[in-house]
Structure 1
Amino acid sequence: MSSTRESSSFWSNVTVKTKTMASLSVVAVCLLCCAAVASQGCDQFAAVGGNFNVPLGYQLKPTDTLKWKLNGNIIFYKRSVRLVVGKNADINDDGSLKLTNLKLDQAGLYTFEVFDQNGRPQTTRNTNLCVLDPVKKPEVKATCQDENVIFHCVSGAQPADAELEWLQDGEEAKGNRRSFETRAEETKGAQFVCKVSNKVSSESSEPVVHICAKTGYPDGINIWILTGARVGFIVVLTVLVSVCFVRVEKKMTMGLKADGEELPMQRIDTEQHSHHPNFSSLQPHHLQS
């Protein structure tokens, strides 16, 4: 009989322990699920390196006790006028929690608890704070391509949640693509700005005006300029050919004189003078007999 009772007691203990472990497992799973849900939903956003006040939303009395927790750990505890954990500089006059020079590891679930002078709970509230990297200032580059212009937003490494948009003369345009192409003539003189933003910050590039549109004279005058250029080219070419021809002829003339040959025109001139009536009288006197 005793062995039967011991065996029954043993299995009873095993059953109780099994049920207890199962209950603990269920509780743990529930807590994990709650934590996952809490981590996904952000009540407030703040930027890395910035400051943020976690709101209290309750009118404190001088005799109240205030506790602030981060992810369940007490980071500030003040009982009436006696400070237990933290520093007086950690909170503002209204009891809100003061966070300065924020870091990524300061994100999480902030909880405050308020008790009266008798230790009775007055109020409590949770605030899930998400700390994000701020965006960086972008730059716009314009590239001319035929009759079009390509705008490109150079933003470098940005946070994963960063969003991009284009502004044309201060108004939203062209969607959220990093680059876009448009007609140069249609956007001549327009100012384009690339804007990058997320939940905690926003940065805009300097405005850029492209110089890809047709410049110079109005349409129609270009034809006359082109025609004039062609005529001028022909005139210059004609002058150059004429100058070259004259120089070549001059060189040939000088070459014949150097060889002692008389040019045809010179011989004709000599013959004309020899038949002239006064030609003999013009001869030197020492030639007469």
Structure 2
Amino acid sequence: MSCQYYLLFLFLCGFAALSETCGKNELEGTSCIIKLTTSNKEKPPEIKWVHDTRGHVLRWKGGKIREISEGVSMEEDGSLRFSSVSLNDTGKYTFNTFTADGTEIRRGEVEIKVYEKAPKPAVKFSCTKDGNATLTCDIGKREDLTLSWYKDKDKIIQNEKKTQVSLSSTEVQENKPYSCEAHNPVSSNKSDSVTVSCFGKLFGFDFWVMVAILGGGGALLLLLICVLIICACRSCRQRVKRQQDEEEFRLADLTPGHNGTSRSKQTARGQPAPPVPQEDSMPCSPTPETPPRGQTQPKAQIRARPPPPPQDEDEDDPPPLPQPRIKQHRTKRNPEPYRPME
């Protein structure tokens, strides 16, 4: 028995929900019934339901439905039932009842307005240079909603169409949470609370964003300065080495008692010094223009010294330079006395 009572209770609840009368304001997607009011309890022979913009919605005559729109049906007493109302169902509905010969018995009019469910708004704020703030309640493009503003839990503005509220600098400094509520006659929704703070802004941007930008720029500038300093130091070092090499070459040439063979084997850079060619000394012999008397010996031929062998850069010490050949004086033969030819 308990199970039967439970099923009967569910049936009655479902029937009550289906038989809910449409009010002036309805939420989109709900089911409701527009009642047909008649003077007697009997069902009239002909019933017409007409929408002010869509025309005929339902026509019943002779015990049959002659015309019906999608999404509606007729109850046993002639009432108009909506399975799920939509925004297109908004408007005025007129019903007419007639006798069998077409005489009008009764006429009535019912108006309903269907609303969408209120969305959840979002609160955004922007700060000005003088420390004031502007709160904005974002509800999209909905125009059928009214707004109410809350400071902490106290309502400060209600039933307004404007989506923005201005706060003074003193109100901003209180660090109170603000929220907004969007509502229409059939639904409402409230946003999350937002604490307004304009002290974290720098040049109109978030404080930490500006810190990151300035930090990155400073690091890049410091890196550029370091690169320039390193390049300048290397250039100065190369210039000093070049000057040392030139000074070493100059001192080696000006030092008395030193010739090309006694020069440094390596330069300041660690590279072998190039050999200096030596000038050949002339033999201490009479010039060919003025030969000594009584001598017919031909003049000695002077041989040029061969060029030094090429230096190998890979060797640590260059080969020794060749020394000039020391000529020994030979014992001259006694020349025969000059005899004139007869």
Alignment TM-score, normalising by the size of structure 1: 0.44
Which one has more relative contact order, counting CA pairs under 8 Å at least 6 apart? 1
TM-score computed with the length of structure 2 as normaliser: 0.38
Q: Give the greater-gyration-radius structure (CA).
A: 2
Q: Determine which structure has the larger helix proportion and give its number.
A: 1
